[in-house]
Amino acid sequence: MIRYPSFLVVFLIVVVGISLYQIKFFITQNEVALKTIKTKIVNAKSDLEILNAELSYLKRPDRIEKIALTKLELKEILPTDIWNLKDLVEATKSINARVPK
Amino acid sequence: MKSLINFKSALVVRSNTKFRKIKLLMCGSLFLFSFMTIGYRTISLAGITKPNPANISFKTIKSDLNKNLTRGNIYDRNKELLATTISTSSLNINPQEVLNKKNTIEKLLEIFPQLDEVALKTKLDSKKQFVNILREISPKEHVLLLNEGIEGLKIRVKHKRIYPNNNLAAHILGSTDVDGSGIAGIEKSLDSQLKNGKNIKISIHSGIQHITEKILFEQINKFEAEGGAGIVMNSKNGEVYAITSLPDYNVNNYSKVSDELLFNKATKGIYELGSTLKLITAAIALDSGLVEENEVFDVSRPLRVSSRTIRDFHPLNYAINIPEVIVHSSNIGSAKIAEKFGSATQLKYLRKLGFMDKMDLQIPEVGIPQVLMDRKLLSTMTISYGHGIAITPMHLASSTATLVNNGIKVNPTLFVSKTREKNTRVFSKNTSNKIKSIMRLVVKSKYGTAKKAEAKGYLVGGKTGTAEKLSKTGGYLKKQNIVAFTSAFPINNPQFIITVMIDNPKGQKFSYGYRTAGWVVAPVVKRLVTRIAPILNIKPQNENSLNFSQNLIQYEIRGKEKGANL
């Protein structure tokens, strides 16, 4: 006949055993996941470095300048293309003053 | 009697049962305790005390990953990538593991047609266990190799330093050796930081660096010169936006580049930069108080000192003041000014400007100036117009910045400054303002030597210098020149310094045979200023506008026809 304490002991042993197995399984699973993530990060980082280098190669100032000149027909900004707003107001005033009413 | 026996046996059974119970309980407790202890220890070892991997922050993983460090990147001031490290694969083979050599050679040649069949056969016949076939293979070639299933192949992953912009800022970036250690430039001076995976941001502006290189390169070709150097620097905090030394090279092929190309003319090369030094002579004269501002110097006759005769390129037949000495670039006038303040004062100021020392720049390729220190009158006089003193173009840029930065010393730096350091004063604010006014006249005045540097609206001020080139065997090469122009803009509130030097230009038909700084380097500065000012957010100014800051002194400059005969 199984007495109460014996039953408790057996029950505890079973619970602890199952818990241990579960924990071990959980840890192993997560460690594998972590390793996979780490590998993925390393690979992604390596890919990113190559992509950044490629992007930088494509963004070379000499290449951009060539494209701007040949494809976009952009030109250098000359000092005459830039106006100070105050000077612009002054110039407008002087032109207006010269125009006969 | 029977009942007594029964009683005794009943007592024994009861005590046995009780004893068994106690024994069982004790065993059970002991067993449970041991089990729990082992269980606890197992759980704690298995990970209960470790952070849950599912909850480990990305930061922790990142720092974990960084333990396997790759060399840090180098960026420009706008976070544009200048140098990085990527992983590449190398193709190696163990000849002892190759079963069918003929078949292997055929397969390899199919994937890599650039390989030499005979050389490949020699490698496969080798008794070695590890032979390198190709230093670098592409990911595509790697996949093809795997698909072929060639036995004995060993693919090794290695790190490779690359410079995506090829020639851009080649002399500043430097390079690394096969082991990944810095051997020149920033790569060398910041080697330990880069090796620890730290990314470095330098003050170079890729766009401005490219424009400087391009414009200087075009002018060097136009005048069939040997090379040149160009510097663009912030005149207030010394941050260098561009340093060019031409001819340059592709940094990715560093190991194959000749020493001549590797030489950094901007920071390592020392040159007699001629009349550009007259600005310093004028500043010393005005600042020391040993020469009166209105004092005039007779430049009508060549000046004979010891065995040497000092002459002017454009002789004048009257006495001129300090601004006129600079604008007309008179050697005689400059020599006479230097005679007034003397050798001790001259050397004191040159020392303050850092002309006696190696510059504290963040690259190892820095030249040491050479100054005639014999304190003889002739040396004092020649130094005043840039002969007998050899400095790097970077020294000239630094001293120009000091002259226009209200006289406070500007130390060039290749880093973006976060805090402004307190520097020593070399010249007074008043002297600085006078020099700025004179520098503007060198460009603006019709008698100035740098009229071709006038970039409309950007108020360029500067000083030209044309010097005979020093021969390697000693003495001067009469027909070879070093031409330089050092400038600041906008000169009424200087923001940037541009210093350009061109080595041995040849006179051209379009320059009427002239190869002077005014013809060769002044136009470079004009083109450079016009191109880079909008990038640097410097707006053109209208000198006739009411809003224009009239803070410069308007010195009157007389020409040849206006001079009063002595």
The pLDDT of residue B9: 67
CATH 3.40.710.10 in chain B, residue ranges: 209-535
Q: Which of residues 197-216 of B touch A (CB under 8 A)?
A: 206-207, 209-211, 214
A23: nearest CB among B46, B86, B206: B46
Average pLDDT rounded to a whole number, residues B536-562: 82
Interval A50-84: pLDDT, tens: 899 999 999 999 999 999 888 887 887 887 788 77
The mean pLDDT of chain B is 89
What is the percentage of chain B residues whose pLDDT exceeds 70? Answer: 91
Q: Is the pLDDT of residue B302 over 80?
A: yes
Tell me the CATH number of domain B209-535, given options 3.30.460.80, 3.40.47.10, 3.40.50.920, 3.40.710.10. Answer: 3.40.710.10
Which helix or strand (DSSP H or E) is residue B435 part of? helix B429-444
Name the B residues in 220-239 with CB < 8 Å from any A CB.
none
At B564 the pLDDT is 45
User: Is residue B509 pLDDT above 70, yes or no?
Assistant: yes
Percent of chain B predicted with pLDDT > 90: 65
For residues A98 and B59, the model is more confident at: A98
Residue of higher predicted confidence among B469 and B43: B469
Nearest Cβ partner for A23 among B25, B43, B531:
B43
Number of residues assigned to chain B: 566
- Confirm or reject contact between B54 and chain A (CB < 8 A): yes
State which residue of chain A sits closest to B208, comparing Cα positions: A61
- Quick one: pLDDT at residue B524? 96
Residues of B (444-483) whose Cβ lies below 8 Å from A: 455-458
Tell me the C-alpha distance between B553 and B566, whole Å.
Answer: 27
Per-residue pLDDT, averaged over B196-207, amounts to: 95
Chain mean position to CA B412? 10
Helices (H), A59-84: 61-70
Is B455 within 8 Å of A79 when comparing Cβ atoms? yes
State how far residue A100 is from chain B, nearest Cα, in angstroms: 24
Tell me, yes or no, if B32 comes closer than 8 A to chain A by beta carbon: yes
Burial letters B209-225, b for 16+ CB under 10 A, else e = bbbbbbbbbebbebbeb
- The pLDDT, as a whole number, for residue B565 is 40
CB contact under 8 A, A16 and B165: no
Q: Which residues of A touch B546 (CB under 8 A)?
A: 90
Judged by a CB distance cut-off of 8 A, whether residue B38 touches chain A is no
Residue of A nearest to B210 (CA): A61
Domain parsing of chain A, residue ranges: 4-98
Q: A16, B36: Cβ pair inside 8 Å?
A: yes
Report which of B280, B349, B289, B294 is spatially closest to residue B324, judged by C-alpha positions: B294
Contacts of A76 in chain B (CB under 8 A): 530-531
Amino acid, res. A22 = Q
Q: What is the DSSP letter of B398?
A: H
Query: Which residue does chain B place closest to A54, by CA atoms?
Result: B164
Burial classification of residue A59, based on how many CB atoms lie within 10 Å of its CB (0-12 exposed, 13-18 middle, 19 or more buried): middle
Most confident of A47-51, A74-78, B46-50, B530-534: B530-534
pLDDT in tens, B227-278: 999 999 999 999 999 999 999 999 999 989 999 999 999 999 999 999 999 9
Instruction: Locate B430 and state its tokens.
Output: 């008043």
So what's the pLDDT on residue B405? 95
**Contact yes or no for A76 and B43 at CB 8 A:** no
pLDDT digits (tens, 9 = 90+) for B446-460: 999 999 999 988 999
Q: How close A24 comes to chain B (CA, Å)?
A: 6
| H or E element that contains B231 | strand B227-234
- Residue in B53, B61, B166 closest to A31 by CB: B53
End-to-end CA distance of chain B: 165
Q: Measured between beta carbons, which residues in chain A are less than 8 angstroms from residue B157?
A: none
pLDDT at residue number B541: 86
B168/A56 Cβ within 8 A: no
Using CB atoms, pick whichever of A33, A46, A61 lies closest to residue B207: A61
Find the helix packing angle between B117-124 and B101-111, rounded to 10°. Answer: 140
Contacts of A44 (CB under 8 A, 6+ apart): none
Q: Answer whether B12 touches A (CB < 8 Å).
A: no
Half-sphere exposure of A45 (CA within 13 A, CB side): 15
Phi, psi of B295 (to 5 degrees): -60, 140
Substitution target from A24, A46, A49 for chain B, most B beta carbons within 10 A = A49
* Delimiting residues of CATH 3.90.1310.10 domain(s) in chain B: 84-162
Residue of chain B with shortest Cα separation from A24: B46
**Among A60, A83, A86, the residue to mutate for chain B (most B Cβ within 10 A):** A60
CATH class, range B84-162:
alpha beta
The pLDDT tens digits for B78-129 are 999 999 998 888 899 999 988 888 999 999 999 999 999 999 999 999 889 8
Q: What percent of chain A has pLDDT over 90?
A: 30
Cβ-based interface (< 8 Å): residues of A facing B: 5-6, 9, 12-13, 16, 19-20, 23-24, 27, 30-31, 33-34, 37-38, 41-42, 45-46, 49-50, 52-57, 59-62, 65, 76-80, 82, 84, 86-87, 90
Q: Which residue has the higher pLDDT, A45 or B64?
A: A45
Question: Average pLDDT, stretch A39-44?
Answer: 89
Does B418 have pLDDT greater than 90? no
Residues of A in contact with B25 (CB under 8 A): 5
Predicted local confidence at residue B149, as pLDDT: 85
C-alpha distance from B530 to closest chain A C-alpha (Å): 7
Task: Please give, rounded to a whole number of angstroms, the shortest distance from the CA of B51 to a CA of chain A.
Answer: 11
Residue with tokens 């800051």: B549
Residue B158 has pLDDT above 90, yes or no: no
**Least CB–CB distance from B162: residue in A6, A42, A53:** A53
Please, which pLDDT band fits residue B324 given cuts at 50, 70 and 90? very high
Convert B187-198 to b/e letters by CB count within 10 Å (16 or more is b). Answer: bbbbbeebbeee
